[in-house]
Structure 1
Amino acid sequence: MADWKSSDKSPEKDLSSIGAMFETKKIKKMYDISELYPTKIIKLLGINSERYSVKLADPEKFTVSEVLRLSYILNIDPNLIINVIQAETEKKIQERVNIVKFKFEK
């Protein structure tokens, strides 16, 4: 993946703490950040609170653009967020692929 050009400006202290949690792998599910400065993150992402909650509960709904914006806001590599989303959704995706494979094998 391409090198990520992080912001020259440091994130605010509260948001940098969320970035540090991603960097130290303390975030296991995207919903883990739901109570961490949601109003500020929602405003900076440019989405409404309902969409934010839905995406945290079902992170495969995050668009690439939203992941990149969140990583920019937190001043972290987007791969850190993608790794959390991948780990959280991998089983669900495997089940969907297996269902489709099974239908084609008939």
Structure 2
Amino acid sequence: MGNWKNNDFEISTELASIALLFEAKKVKRMYDIAGLFPTKISRLLGINSDRYSVKLSNPEKFSVFEILKLAYILGLDPNLILDVIQIETETLVSKKIKQKSTSA
């Protein structure tokens, strides 16, 4: 679990189970957690459930602050979430860079 200083947020068993999936490297895509307590997570993130679903499908749309909030509420090292997002979006980033370099 993440070692957040001053974390007075009590992590529920449900949320802790999601953190364990990240720690065990079972989450390959952010959408893998879509069915796991989406209402609770979206409420804690401060976004509506439809927006949360869109961000899970397109993880590059998560803001840094939202990633940090998600890590905080899961009691997780944010780098574990960022690793999933990086792997998932690497192809997209590469395509965008190649498009820009060929059109320049």
Please give the range of the TM-score, normalised by the shorter of the 2 chains.
Answer: over 0.9
2:14 alignment partner AA: D
Based on CA coordinates, which of the two structures has the bigger radius of gyration? 1
Can you list the C-alpha shifts for 1:45-79, whole angstroms capped at 9, x where unaligned?
Answer: 00001110100000000000000000000000000
Consecutive aligned runs of 4 or more in structure 1 exceeding 4 Å deviation: none
Task: Measure, in 2, the Cα distance between the counterparts of 1:22 and 1:81.
Answer: 7
Structure 1 gap segments, 5+ residues each:
none
1:3-82 → structure 2 map (5 Å cutoff): 5=4, 7-82=7-82
Task: Measure, in 2, the Cα distance between the counterparts of 1:9 and 1:66.
Answer: 16
Instruction: Give the drift of 1:103.
Output: 1.1
TM-score, structure 2 normalization: 0.92
Task: Measure, in 1, the Cα distance between the counterparts of 2:37 and 2:50.
Answer: 15
Equivalent pairs, count: 102
Change beyond 3 A, Cα 1:13–1:88: same
Instruction: Give the drift of 1:10.
Output: 4.3
TM-score, structure 1 normalization: 0.91
Task: Measure, in 2, the Cα distance between the counterparts of 1:41 and 1:74.
Answer: 9
Structure 2 gap segments, 5+ residues each:
none
* Aligned residues with identical type, % of pairs: 51
Equivalence for 1:102:
102
Task: Measure, in 1, the Cα distance between the counterparts of 2:71 and 2:24.
Answer: 15
Task: Measure, in 1, the Cα distance between the counterparts of 2:84 and 2:43.
Answer: 22
CA-based RMSD of the aligned residues comes to 1.5
